[in-house]
């Protein structure tokens, strides 16, 4: 057999596999996506900053104009970027 015959055989096998995969995917029953929960079960009220950040996330683009969200993001940045207790600038330089 020559190279052209192998190339054609490979192309036919590839097309057959693609058609089979497409047929299987089309016969699958689609599951409805689960809507995101707006309320957090169990942990509500433990961390007010976390709850405020969650509320701001639900606001979407309007959160960027909400003064409460801006303050919450500033508190979160300060908490995240604050130096750890017991570290000094001489230890960080190493």
Per DSSP, the residues of 28-71 read SPPPPPPPPPSSPSS-TTS-HHHHHHHHHHHHGGGGGG-HHHHH
More confident residue, 32 or 3: 3
More confident residue, 78 or 84: 78
Residue 64 lies in a domain: yes
CB distance 56 to 26 below 8 Å = no
Instruction: Give percent above pLDDT 90 in the chain.
Output: 48
Residue 51 lies in a domain: yes
Angle of helix 48-59 relative to helix 67-81, nearest 10 degrees, comes to 130
Specify the pLDDT at position 10: 96
Residue 37 lies in a domain: no
Residue 67 lies in a domain: yes
Residue 62 lies in a domain: yes
Specify the pLDDT at position 24: 93
Residue 1 lies in a domain: no
Q: Residue 56, exposed/middle/buried by CB under 10 A (0-12, 13-18, 19+)?
A: buried
Half-sphere exposure at residue 82, Cβ-oriented, CA atoms within 13 angstroms:
10
How many residues comprise the chain?
A: 94
Domain holding 69, by residue range, is 46-82
Mean pLDDT across 7-31: 92
Specify the pLDDT at position 45: 58
* Encoded tokens for 65: 């104009």
Residue 71 lies in a domain: yes
Residue 75 lies in a domain: yes
What domain count does the chain have?
A: 1
């Amino acid at each position: 057999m020559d190279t052209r015959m192998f190339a054609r055989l490979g192309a036919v096998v590839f097309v057959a596999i693609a058609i089979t995969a497409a047929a299987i995917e089309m016969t699958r029953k689609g599951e409805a996506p689960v809507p995101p929960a707006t309320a957090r079960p169990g942990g509500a009220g433990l961390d007010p900053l976390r709850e405020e950040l969650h509320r701001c996330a639900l606001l979407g683009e309007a959160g960027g104009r909400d003064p409460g969200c801006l303050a919450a993001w500033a508190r979160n940045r300060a908490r995240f970027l604050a130096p750890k207790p017991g570290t000094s600038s001489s230890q960080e330089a190493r």
